[in-house]
Amino acid sequence: MSHSNENQGSPEPINMESTASGKDSRSVSPADNYYSARTRRPDWRKRLTLLTVMILILIGAGEYLVFDSTPEPADLITVLSGNDTIRLEKTAQLYFDGYAHLILLTNTGRTYGPYDTPYNQSQIEQLQAMNVPDGAIFLSDFVAKNTGQEATAIIMRMVDLNLKSVIIVTDAWHLRRTRIIYTDTFSNTDFKVQYIGADEPGFSAAFWWLSPKGWKTVVGEYARIIGYFIKRGTNIPDYPLFNFFRDQFQSADHE
């Protein structure tokens, strides 16, 4: 009887080998080890997917601003003010290719030099240097302060000259905003409007995000597009905040 009680109360034998090695006697399966390692290891696939999506979004943002179009013959070529060299070169190319026989320069009212020479004079001289005849160059009387007002100036001059179609020349990255604004401005006319972009060296619609200038250009365009839609919806004439950032960008360029 006493032997029976001793057997019932005695502890289970201890595996001294397992205890010495610091491991539990119950073994862990290979599957448990695999899943445990996966939870500790960073998931590089998710990171690669996220990076790919971000790059595609950045590429799409640049490509959206630029669109291709094949020019057709028109009554007039208008070059928007700004980034004159590449825009004027594109304008002269279209002129000599026979797409139009008249060129209109918009008037921003800007001057240059110690004698406040009209900015249009510099544009005329550049076109003359490209062998464009004086008789093909026209100026706008209306002083435009922005892209939208340039559209108004173009319409007024087309009415004066009894023209029905126009090719708008601007930077390639400026095309989307220009078409958005001009679609509204020309909506009450019967004029046919085409948009041709001048490619700026160093700017890539796909890889703009690799340079500080690309960020400034693309982000600036989207800010202006958003600003235009807000202005159109609220009829607010101006945006001090947008002007502030614009002035900051301009001052940085001159430093």
Residues 124/136, Cβ–Cβ less than 8 Å? no
How far the first Cα of the chain sits from its last, in Å, is 103
pTM as predicted: 0.73
**In a 3-state reduction of DSSP, which class is residue 22?**
coil
Per-residue pLDDT of the chain (255 residues; tens, 9 = 90+): 545 454 555 555 555 444 444 455 456 565 555 555 555 556 888 889 999 999 999 999 999 999 888 999 999 999 998 777 899 999 999 999 999 999 999 988 888 888 788 889 999 999 999 999 999 999 998 888 888 899 999 999 999 999 999 999 999 999 999 999 999 999 989 999 999 999 988 889 999 999 999 999 999 999 999 999 998 876 555 444 445 545 555 555 444
Residue with tokens 């202005």: 231
Domain spans of the chain, in order of start: 71-200, 211-255
AA identity, residue 168: I
Question: Rounded to the nearest 5 degrees, what angle is found at the Cα of 125, between the Cα atoms of 80 and 91?
Answer: 40
Q: Which of 167, 156, 87 shows the shortest CA–CA distance to 123?
A: 87
Q: Which of 6, 151, 4 shows the shortest CA–CA distance to 81?
A: 151
Q: Which of 141, 186, 181, 146 shows the shortest CA–CA distance to 166?
A: 186
CATH no. of 71-200: 3.40.50.620
